[in-house]
Structure formats: C-alpha cells, structure tokens
Amino acid sequence: MTKKTSFTSRLTGIKQLMQTHHVDALVITNNLDQYYLLNFFFYPEETVLLIVADTVFCFTRDLYVEPLRRECPELEVIGCENRVKAAVEKLKKLQIKRAGFDAAKESYMTGKLMQTAGLKELPSLISQLRKEKDADEIKRMRASNRIAYLAYEYVRPRIKTGMTETEVAVMLEQFMRAQGASAVSFLTIVGFGENAANPHHETSMRKLKNNEAILMDYGCIYQGYCSDITRCWWHGKNEPEEYTKVWKIVDKARRAGIKALKPGVATKDIDATARGIIAQAGYGDYFTHRTGHGVGMDIHEEPFNSADSKDILQVGNVVTVEPGIYLPGKFGVRLEDTLAVTEKGSVILTRK
C-alpha cells in the first residue's frame, strides 16, 4: 500500500467514527495516532492535528514545516508554538460547534482547555481503528517480530557462563538494530537464575553461572511497529526435574492459548484457557499476570487477553500469548509469542 492510499483509507475510517459520534471536527494530539494517519513520525507533544471535513490541519513546530510540505502535501501545515490553542482558535474561526478530542489520551491541562472551549470528550476512536491492523501493518509487524525471533536464534548459542545480563541484552539489541530496527520496543529483560522469577526484572550486571535458568523478554520497533517475544531455557547440563516440569506446563498453556485464538472468541477466554492449564497443574498462584496484550505501534495496546477484558477477537488483531510460572528465589519460566488473528484462526509472527 502506498502512503497516499493508506492516508485516504485511514482518514475515511476516522471520518466514519466521527460521524457515529456526531462531531464535525476531531483534534488528534497523540503522536502514534498521528503516525497512524500520516506515516510521519513526530515526537510526543510537538504536533496537533485537526480534522475538519476533508481537510487535515497540522499545527506543529517550525522545524517540521518544510519536511512536512514535502512528505505530506495533503496537509494544511501551520508552524506555531501554542498548538492546542491554535487548533481551538481555528475551530472558532471556522464556526464549528461539534468538535471532539480523545479524553483518555489527553493531559489534564490540555483536556481542560479543550473542554472549556466546548469540545466534546470522546472515547479513543483511533485506538479502535489501530486494533484491527490492515495488510500493510501486518506486513510490518511480521517483519518486526521476525527480527526479534532471529535475534533469539543468533544470541542463544553465543551465551556463555560468566556473561552479564546486560551483555546478553546488548547482543540482542545490536543484532536487531543491524537488521534495520530503529529501537527496542521496551527495555530488554534478561534474567538469570532467581532474577528470572521476577516477571519485570531490571536487567543487571549479574553474571551467568553454570546450571541456572535464563529468561529473555524483548522486542524491537521496525517501520513503526513493535515486536514482543519471550524465551526461557536452562543453561547447563543438570536441568532440575522441577524446571523441566514447569517449562512443559507453561508451554502447554502457551499452545492452548494459541489454539484458542480465533475471530469471535472473547479475549478473557484466551486468558482462562492458558490460566486453566497452569492452575490444573497446581501452579495457579505463581502465574501473576494477564495472558497477553495487543501489540502495534504501542507495545501494550488493545485488545488485552485478560480476565477483565470485554473484547472479542477480530481478524487483524495482533496479540501476545505469554503464560508464565514464577517461583520466587528459584527461577521463572515465561514463553511468549506474538500472533495475528486471521479468518482461520491465527498465525505466529515471532518465527523465522
């Protein structure tokens, strides 16, 4: 898909939702929502987009004006410093009464400013669109997750006793950057031994000993889209029986969760399926997080494979399945893949 056609189709999608919510104008301040529409990356808080009928006004810093006119000729670009205020004034000048903004993504101060100006608090309309990835987005997500998987294949045989968690993280990150990734999608987690029992362990200078657990949870951003993968194994020849047992239970839970992924299935049922297997094996108390989350331009976005979610899976959703068992002071095992929901069920994106 060319940049122009994705702009046109995404603008059409946004305008349909604006109509459903009875507004004639929409203010967009989130930089990833802006990227979704324009395929142009702004840093946060630097730009305000205003959609009015077929016109997209772009209030931005002066430094963006020249590149934007070249790359996004469809925009009405206005360089200014007080961008939210400028958008509100534009609405007043155009005499538009029914305008809205994404209340959940707004800061208190700018939200208050827009509310006072008469703008309507709306739910996250663009998040609804971002949940269902189009063919171009699936392609980018596949490439991003492929790079993450290849990093695992590259790094695993190169890990040696005595290396620090940080050294392993650097190897992963260097590999992914060399494959074209622009950044990591979140802080790389590498945990050795008892550190693997902390689901969000902060990668440290701890050295790897012979015969202990390894956990790596990481991903990259490629062409704007995140990947997410977790792999765990035993380093050394004397793998304890308990580790093998726990690994197999988690793997069984992961496979069952993946098998259950289909359009029309409730995300809370994906969580229940994976959690049920771990609970049945007697480790229910040691699975201390949700089974998965949506992934896209954000590393954590809708829909969530969790007990309190009300989402129903749809074709184009991209989600993780990542059950885990964490035994404090001993070790932890989490196995995570990122998948795209398809007509037939799902496809794993974290593979070769």
- The site for Mn ion (CB under 5 A) is made up of 228, 320
CB of 217 to Mn ion, least distance (A): 7
Compare residues 195 and 320 and give the one whose CB is closer to Mn ion.
320
Smaller CB separation from Mn ion, 21 or 351: 351
Torsion sign, CA atoms 113, 106, 38, 43: positive
Quote the tokens at residue 164.
């620090």
- Report the residue number, 106 or 228, with the smaller CB distance to Mn ion: 228
Query: 110-142 in b/e burial notation, b at 16+ Cβ within 10 A?
Result: bbebbeebebbebebbbbebbbbbeebbbebbb
Q: In whole angstroms, how close is the CB of 190 to Mn ion at the nearest point?
A: 15
Residue closer to Mn ion by CB (options 228, 301) is 228
The nearest distance, CB 293 to Mn ion, in angstroms, is 6
Q: How far is the CB of 292 from Mn ion (least distance, A)?
A: 7
Please state the closest distance from residue 148 (CB atom) to Mn ion, in A: 11
Q: For residues 102 and 322, which CB has a smaller minimum distance to Mn ion in the complex?
A: 322
Letter for the amino acid at 246? V
- The gap between the terminal CA atoms of the chain, to the nearest Å, is 24
Alpha helices in the chain (DSSP H): 3-20, 31-38, 62-71, 83-93, 108-116, 125-131, 135-155, 165-178, 241-260, 267-280
Give the CB-nearest residue to Mn ion: 228
Find out whether 243 and 213 touch, Cβ atoms under 8 Å: yes
Q: Which residue, 33 or 228, has its beta carbon nearer to Mn ion?
A: 228
User: Rounded to the nearest whole angstrom, what is the least distance from the CB of residue 322 to Mn ion in the complex?
Assistant: 5
- Rg over alpha carbons for the chain, rounded to the nearest Å, is 23
Residues in a beta bridge with 336: 230
For Mn ion, give the closer residue by CB, 228 or 311. 228
When the beta carbons of 173 and 228 are compared against Mn ion, the nearer one is 228
User: What residues contact residue 326 under an 8 Å CB cut-off, 6+ apart?
Assistant: 196, 197, 198, 199, 286, 287, 288, 332, 333, 334
Q: Are strands 25-28 and 99-102 parallel, antiparallel or unpaired?
A: parallel
- β-strand partners of 301: 294
Q: What are the structure tokens assigned to 123, written together?
A: 């739910």
> Taking the CB of residue 162, how many other CB atoms lie within 10 A of it?
9
Residue 46 to residue 57: CA distance in whole angstroms: 14
d(CA 345, CA 80): 48
Smallest distance, Mn ion to C-beta of residue 299, A: 7
Minimum distance from CB of 201 to Mn ion (Å)? 14
CB nearer Mn ion, residue 305 or residue 320: 320
CA angle 329, 244, 350 (to 5 degrees): 95
Minimum Å gap between C-beta 112 and Mn ion is: 34
